Amino acid sequence: MVKQKHSFLTAGNLSFLPKIKNMEDNQRKEGKLAKAIETQTSKIPSDVFLWTALGSMGISLALKVAGHNKQAQFVGQWAAPILLLGVYNKLVKLEGHDKEDTNK
């Protein structure tokens, strides 16, 4: 049997971590602006973000082939933020204020 050198790293000894309070008690309500943004962004289908990101990659490839390297790099960098916006859109649909309002 192998003896553990650092017993303080075992899963049972997590006393050094700060205590986490009940998330329900500390949950905050969304502001009017956030609700307005979520209401508008939740209307956009998730596919729009995927196809837009793929389109920017295709345009970037076309620009690269045409020899416009700087423009290709600029347009190619749009894909990640567009996909990130798609993730935000999906989170709003699944976990946004709409879920809280409908559970009441």
Mean pLDDT of 53-82: 97
Tokens of 71: 């423009």
Number of domains in the chain: 1
Does residue 5 have a pLDDT over 80?
A: no
- On whether residue 87 sits in a domain, the answer given is yes
- On whether residue 55 sits in a domain, the answer given is yes
Mean pLDDT of 53-80: 97
- On whether residue 29 sits in a domain, the answer given is no
pLDDT in tens, 26-35: 556 778 888 8
**Chain centroid, CA 13 distance in Å:** 32
- On whether residue 40 sits in a domain, the answer given is no
- On whether residue 19 sits in a domain, the answer given is no
The candidate with the shortest Cα–Cα distance to 84, out of 44, 54, 53, 40, is: 53
- On whether residue 81 sits in a domain, the answer given is yes
Structural domain range at position 81: 45-104
| 3-class state of residue 87 by DSSP | helix
User: How far is the first Cα of the chain from the last one, in angstroms, to the nearest whole number?
Assistant: 55
Residue 34 phi, psi (nearest 5): -60, -40
- On whether residue 58 sits in a domain, the answer given is yes
- On whether residue 67 sits in a domain, the answer given is yes
Give the contacts of 39 (CB within 8 A, at least 6 positions apart): 98
pLDDT of residue 42: 82
Mean pLDDT of 32-50: 86
